[in-house]
A = this chain, B = another copy of it.
Amino acid sequence: MNGAESLVKTLLGSGVDVCFANPGTSEMHFVAALDRVPGMRCVLGLQENVVTGAADGYWRMADKPAATLLHCGPGLANGLAGLHDARRARSGVVNVVGDQAVYHRPFDAPLTADAEGWARGVSAFVRTSSRAEDVGADAAMAVQAARTSPGQVATLILPSDSSWNEGGVVGAALTVPAVPQADPHQVEQAARVLRSGKNVLLLLGGLALREAAQVQANRIAAATGCRLLAEGSNARIQRGQGRLMLDRVPYVNEQAVAALKGVEHLVLVNAKEPIGFFGYPGKPSRFWPPGCELHLLTRLDQDAEGALRALADALGAPKAAMPNPGPRPQAPRGALSPEGLARTVAALMPENSVIVDESVTYGRGFFPETYAAPAHDWLQNCGGAIGYGPPVAVGAAIGAGGRRVVALQADGSAMYTPQALWTQAREKLPVTTVLLSNRKYQILIGEYQNVGANPGRTAMDMLDLGNPDIGWVQLANSMGVEAAQASTLDQLGDLMAQSFARPGPFLIELMI
C-alpha cells in the first residue's frame, strides 16, 4: 500500500468521506487511490477558494469535517481566504496539500513555495508527512485536530513521494477530546450577575445558537428578563418557528454602540467580545459601554448548551415556551425593497432551508423579517473575506443532505468565487442563488463617505462594478446553471417558487 492509499483509507476510517478537490500533478497518486478505494465522495472545484469554502459550509451543516485536496503552496494560497473564513467560523477542515517530493524540494522548482508558512496563519495543526510510513498516523491526527472543539483547520502537507512510496500504514481513528465543560465558578458568576437586577446581556455565538442551547437561553431570559443577542457574524443560527427571535450585533459602528447601550453586564457564551470590524477615526473599537463588566460563561471551545442548562438550573428557571413570532408572512408583491426580499424568502422557503447570507449592505435588515419563517438555518461570513457565499453554499448543500439552500448573494462578493456555480451545476445541488445586482461595491461607497467626502471620478472607478455591467444570467448559464432576471417582488417570488420545485441549482439576478 502506498502512502496515498493509506491516506484515503485513514480518512474513511476516521469518518471523513467527502473530499473537495482541486488536484494537480503532485496529487495524482491520491486521485489514483480514489479509484482503488471506494467510499470517498470527491467534488471538484475549479478554483481553490471553492474547495476550502465548500469544506467550511460542509462542516457547518454536517458537524463533521470534509477533506480538501490542494496543489502545492500556490494552490493552498488560492484557498487561504476560504480557510481564513473557516477558521473564523470555527469550522473543522482536514486540509490536505500535496507538495514537491522531499528529494525534489531543494531544486526550488517553479511551484515550490512555503506551504507550511502559509498554512500556519489559518491552521491549528500543520504537519508535513515526509515518509509514506507516517501518512496514515499523521492523517488520523489531522482529523482529530479538525474535530477538536470548536472545530479547527488542520493542514496535512503531503510531499508526492510520501504518496507514491510503498510502506503506507492505515492510521487508527483517534478519539476526539471531549468538549470541555464550563467550570462551575463560571456558571456561578453568571448566575450572580443575572440575579443582580442589573441590565444583563447574554451574547451568544457558535453552538450557543443551535436550537437546544436556545431552549436553555430562553429559560434564562424568561426567568430573569436579560437580553439575548447573537454575535455580529455567525457560522450557523437555527432560526424561524420554534426558535428564538434573536437579533445580532449590528455591523455599523454607531448602531452597534446603540444596541449595547445601557448594558451593565455582558456575558459571553461561545462568543468573543463585540468589537468593530474595522477601526475608524474617532470611533470606538469596543462596542460595549464604559463601565460594563464582561463575563465569560463559556470559552469558544466549551459546551454552551450544558453551561446554559446549568445556569438556568442554578437560577431555578422553569421551562419556558419559545416566543411566538406570529404567522408566517405572505409573499409580498410590487416594488423591490430589502424587507420585501426578506419577506419573500420567509414566505416561500421550504421547511428546513439553509440560508447562506452574503447579502452585505442590502441584507442588514433581513433578520426581523424572517423570524416567522419555517425552521431554517442561517449561515454568515465570519471572517470577512468576501466571496465566501457561493462556495459555502456548495458545501452546505452537500453537508445538509438535500435540504434547499437559498444563497442571498451580493454581486461584488460573488465575483471572487463565481466558479462555485459550476460545481453547483455539476453536482446538481439544490441551491437557489438570489444575486443582488447593484453593480457597485455599495459597502465601500458608504465607507468612502465615512472618510468624509463623496467619491470623485477616480475613486468611483474603484467602487463601481458597472462599465461593463456583469450579466449574471449569462455568467450562470455559461457554467451550466439556469438563471433568470427579476426586478419586482412578483417576479422574484415566481422564480423562487419555480426554483424550489427543481432538483438542481438556479440563479435569480435581482436588479436592485
Q: Are B384 and A110 in touch, CB under 8 angstroms?
A: yes
Nearest residue (CB) in B for A475 is B478
Answer yes or no: A178 CB below 8 A from chain B CBs. no
Interface string of A28-70 (1 = CB under 8 A from B): 1101101100001010101101000000000000000000000
Q: How long is the Cα–Cα vector from A333 to B338 in the complex, in angstroms?
A: 56
Bound Cα distance A77, B70 (Å): 15
Query: Per a CB cutoff under 8 Å, which of B277, B279, B478 touches A474?
Result: B478
A and B contact pairs by CB, cutoff 8 A, 10 listed? A28-B444, A44-B462, A47-B387, A72-B384, A108-B272, A109-B276, A416-B419, A468-B480, A473-B478, A478-B478
Interface check A25, CB cutoff 8 A: yes
- A105 CB to nearest chain B CB (Å): 8
Contact (Cβ within 8 A) A278 B160: yes
CB distance from A129 to the nearest CB of B (A): 16
Which residue numbers of A lie inside 8 Å of B, CB to CB? 21, 23-26, 28-29, 31-32, 34-35, 40, 42, 44, 46-47, 49, 72-75, 77-78, 80-81, 84-85, 88, 100-101, 103-104, 107-111, 113-114, 117-118, 120-122, 160-161, 164, 233, 272-273, 275-279, 281, 285-286, 382-385, 387, 412, 415-416, 418-419, 422, 425-426, 443-444, 447-448, 450-453, 455-459, 461-463, 465, 467-475, 477-480
Known: A28-B448, A415-B419, A469-B480. 10 other contacts (CB 8 A): A31-B444, A32-B452, A74-B81, A77-B77, A78-B81, A101-B279, A107-B276, A110-B277, A110-B384, A161-B279
Contact residues in B for A25 (Cβ distance below 8 Å): 277-278, 443-444, 447
Q: Is the CB of B113 within 8 A of A31?
A: no
Nearest to A81 among chain B residues (CB) is B74
Contact B471 A32 (CB under 8 A): no
* B474–A109 CB distance below 8 A: no
- How many copies make up the complex? 2
Contacts of A382 in B (CB 8 A): 110
Bound-state Cα–Cα, A406 to B303, Å: 59
Residues from chain B with a CB closer than 8 A to the CB of A467 are 426
Partner of A31, one of B72, B110, B383, B448: B448
A111-B384, A384-B110 given; A100·B279 CB < 8 A: yes
Once A109-B275, A458-B34, A458-B42 are accepted as A-B contacts, the answer to whether A422 and B470 lie under 8 Å apart by CB is yes
Task: Give every chain B residue within 8 A of A387 (Cβ-Cβ).
Answer: 47
How far apart are the CA atoms of A72 and B161 in the complex, in Å?
36
A25-B278, A100-B279, A480-B468 as given contacts; A74 in contact with B78, CB under 8 Å: no
For the complex formed, measure the closest distance between the CB of A307 and the CB atoms of chain B, giving whole angstroms. Answer: 23
* Contact B416–A47 (Cβ < 8 Å): yes
Would you call B468 and A21 a contact (CB within 8 A)? no
Please state if B425 and A104 are interface contacts (CB–CB under 8 Å). Answer: no
Residue numbers in B under 8 Å from A100 (CB-CB)? 278-279
Complex interface: chain B residues within 8 A of A88 (CB): 110
Residues of chain B lying within 8 A (CB to CB) of residue A285: 103-104, 107
Q: Of B24, B160, B275, B456, which one neighbours A279 at CB under 8 angstroms?
A: B160
